[in-house]
Structure 1
Amino acid sequence: MSGAFDDLVLASFLDPSETSLRDEWRSVLDRRRPVEGKRQVDFVPSEVVLSFCCSLLVDHSRFGSSSAHRAGFPVQELAALYKRPPTSIIAKMANLDGSRSHGGKYDRPVAAILTSDTRLLQAAYLRILSAARAEGIDKEDLPDFLDLEDGGDLWLAGQDELVDSVLESEVERTLRTLIDKRKSEISRAEIQDTERLLLSAARIGQHRFANEVLRNHGHRCVFCGMSGRIAGKRHPRLLTASHIKPWRSSTNRERLDFTNGLTACPTHDVAFDTGLITVGPDLEIRRTPELEFEIQREKPLQHAFGRPPLADRLLILSTSQRPDVNYLSWHRTEIFIDR
């Protein structure tokens, strides 16, 4: 993609003016639901951006044409507002992450840029919602589904696991597989486009995974019970949602499986990740012999790893799904320092 025209078009997605946004919302409000079997109107730029924002919460790959009506919040809300079937929102999300090859020309570049720059994404999202409110579209018709209108910050959860070197190796491996399947040369532009899509997919997939883990555990550390909420407001960096079997060692399916995750405060997350603590078959929390010994000598360690604050067993809600025993077994065998 090159040239002043392409830059101008991209700006309509990434840096829209209030006037253009309000014009887009008026066109949306004037829409009529399409007659079945007839072509729908094209997506306006702000509609594309909100569909991308929707992908931060919903995994479109779980839904097809017969199940799109079951896709979670905010797919149904966006579909109703834009007077489209839910399948259209799901399809646009697939266009944006490259799952469908016949998406709009600017879908992939827009998605790649927004994934790499969360400040730009937040600014575009808030500008779109502000223009909607100015046109009389309230929070019932267009919910603030990223919780940013009241001063929140957009933060992609769980990104600490995605070390650049590991991501680069994964991208190279996938590209080699693609080239082997094609059995032909791939242009430099196509390689760059594929790299951007793979990195975008990894970051968004990790964000959705982390959010599912946090919700499953009630936004509390499963080792000590600490909440990331202070004065009624969540502080996302006080809790992390990491894989039991690390991202670098997991298959694509395991990377997205929230039963392969635990919510933890930073101290207990690092201790688990480095093998100082682990979890037994009955969810009992175990400490390494070295840690057991040092706790008796070091008061600060006792404050962090004594009982309390460390619980005897994982603090899992009765409504939570338990971590998969296979992942816990892998951690005890491969990570835990039991000597």
Structure 2
Amino acid sequence: MATVVHAADVAYAESDYLELTVNGARRQWLDIVARRPLPPGARQVAFVPVETLLCLAGMYVVDHSRFGSGSANRAPEPVQQLARLFRRPPTSILAKMANLDGTRSHGAKNDLVAGARLRSDPSRMAHAYRTVLAAARSAGVGPDVLPDFLGVEHGGAIELLGQDELGGSAVESALESELQAWLRKSDLPEVTTERLMWASVRVGQHRFATSVLANCGRECVFCGFTLTDSGPSLLRASHIKPWRNSDHRERLDIANGLAACPTHDSAFDVGLITVDEDLAVRRSRRLENAMVHNQAVRRAFEPGMLRASIAAPRRAVAPGRPFIDWHREHVFTP
């Protein structure tokens, strides 16, 4: 059985995360698999780098802020898988994610710095993730216990969805204001704090877009366009009330999102179409006039191509009434 080391006894350097080798990670995995569950209330051993890196990877999938101590057991995978594998309660996995996000002040500084660097460089993050998984496999931790939840174990890049919404001067202005708030509560260098904030925004947007696509059945809610293979879908998952106008909660709420093909997404974004309270699709007068005079426009927006009402799977979260009301009042041009 591995020696129990308390969290306060260990401090890892940035290089322990950024320069981790398969052999070094394998030694950590051998200690992890030798652990025994601790009795309730016992102090846990320190997180070793491979655990921290997998918690960091899990943040691409799970919004840890949605779960507290009373709901941690309901957090989705990979939280429960990591908790079982590390012999820790799910609350510890979620707390480590919060530390790495920079939203709590309890995280080790080098964890934060390394995490900020990795999340700002998707190719480097993918390499670290593959290193951890390769070491796990060599230590006997198979995919049944630790699945490849990012889908890049055997190559490929970590693709962040929905990033096109984060451009423009209005977004930059909002993020500059938010950066100042982060700096006031952080004792980290400004460059690290800025990386943390941008990583949080980008990964949060990725989780939002992923959830919206799944909620909408991976098809355009306006016309039904979809591609069923595993390649790029062309679909966009965008906010109903734009990111720049939303608060933090609204930016992550899937009820504030719709999946659409590029044509209908763009038309919705510029106010050529909107959605009424009963989810009926409404065209603007400008669009209807263009349909009369332009055959290509008519083909894209005529009945039969553009649905009378948006559609989604039966158990999908419906668009939130405050969001569609906001779009109709502030974006749509009747």
Deviation per residue, 1:200-248 (Å, 9 max, x gap): 2211221121122111111111011112433xx1425x11111000000
**Post-superposition offset of 1:115:** 1.9
- Which one-letter code corresponds to 1:37 in the other structure? G
Unaligned runs of 5+ in 1: 1-7
The worse-fitting range, judged by mean Cα deviation, of 76-85 and 155-164 is 155-164
Between stretches 239-248 and 19-28, larger displacement belongs to 19-28
Match of 1:226 in 2: 225
Deviations 1:279-302 (A, max 9, x none): 112111122222222223323223
Q: CA 1:80/1:163 → structure 2, altered by over 3 Å: closer, same or farther? A: same
Give the equivalent residue in structure 2 for 1:212: 211
Cα separation, partners in 2 of 1:305 and 1:14, compared to 1, 3 Å = farther
> Would the alpha carbon gap of residues 177 and 87 (structure 1) be closer, same or farther in structure 2, given more than 3 Å must change?
closer
Matches within 5 A, 1:184-333: 190-230=189-229, 233-236=230-233, 238-333=234-329
Structure 1 partner of 2:163: 159
Q: Do 2:130 and 2:154's aligned partners in 1 also have CA atoms closer than 8 Å?
A: no
Q: For 2:95, what is the secondary structure of its paired residue?
A: helix
Asked whether the 8 Å contact 1:14–1:121 carries over to 2, the reply is: no
Q: What is the alpha-carbon distance in structure 2 between the residues aligned to residue 175 and residue 122 of structure 1?
A: 26
Structure 2 unmatched runs, 5+: 1-11
**SS of equivalent to 1:124:** helix
Q: 1:115 aligns with which of 109, 119, 124?
A: 119
Q: Write the deviation string for residues 85-127 of structure 1: whole angstroms up to 9, x where unpaired.
A: 1111111101101122121121211221122111111121122
Whole-angstrom distance in 1 between the partners of 2:277 and 2:154: 43
Any idea what SS the aligned residue of 1:139 has? coil
Structure 1 residue identity aligned to 2:282? R
CA distance in 1 between partners of 2:231 and 2:217 (Å): 12
In the alignment, residue 109 of structure 1 is paired with which amino acid?
V
Percent identity of paired positions between Structure 1 and Structure 2: 46
Asked if 1 retains the 8 angstrom alpha-carbon contact of 2:272 and 2:283, the reply is yes
Letter in 2 for 1:193: T
Please state whether the residue corresponding to 2:103 is helix, strand or coil.
coil
Amino acid at match of 1:325: R
**2: distance between equivalents of 1:310 and 1:247?**
25
SS in structure 2 of the partner of residue 229 of structure 1: coil
Cα distance 1:14–1:190, how it changes in 2: closer, same or farther (>3 A)? Answer: closer
Q: Secondary structure at the match of 1:112?
A: helix
What amino acid is the match of 1:220?
E
User: Contact 2:213–2:259 at 8 Å: present in 1 too?
Assistant: yes
Cα gap change, 1:175 to 1:160, in 2 (>3 Å): closer
Separation in 2, partners of 1:274, 1:164:
15
In structure 2, distance between residues paired with 1:278 and 1:136: 53
TM-score, normalization: structure 1? 0.88
Deviation per CA, 1:9-53, whole angstroms, max 9, x where unpaired? 323313421211211211211222223333222111121111011
- How far apart are residue 146 of structure 1 and its match? 1.4
Whether 1:92 and 2:125 are equivalent positions in the alignment is: no
8 Å CA contact retained: 1:206, 1:256: yes
Q: Is the 8 A contact 2:129 2:153 kept in 1?
A: no
Equivalent position to 2:79, from 65, 70, 75: 75
State the distance in 1 between where 2:227 and 2:49 align.
35
- Asked whether the 8 Å contact 1:115–1:200 carries over to 2, the reply is yes
Go from structure 1 to structure 2 and tell me whether the alpha carbon gap of 1:53 and 1:41 turns closer, same or farther (over 3 Å shift). same
Candidates 143, 163, 168, aligned match of 2:147? 143
Aligned length: 323
Measured on the aligned residues, the alpha-carbon RMSD in Å equals 2.2
Tell me, in whole angstroms, the C-alpha distance in 2 between the residues paired with 1:177 and 1:72.
Answer: 30
Q: What CA distance in whole angstroms lies between the structure 2 residues aligned with 1:175 and 1:152? A: 31
Contact kept in structure 2, 1:111 and 1:200, CA below 8 Å: no
For 2:259 and 2:173, the matched residues in 1 are separated by: 27
Within the alignment, does 1:23 sit opposite 2:31 as a pair? no
Whole-angstrom CA distance in 2 between matches of 1:282 and 1:102:
46
Check 1:24–1:176 CA distance in 2 against 1; reply closer, same or farther (3 A cut).
closer
Query: Given the superposition, is the C-alpha separation of residues 27 and 177 from structure 1 closer, same or farther in structure 2, using an over 3 Å criterion?
Result: closer
Give the TM-score normalised by structure 2: 0.89
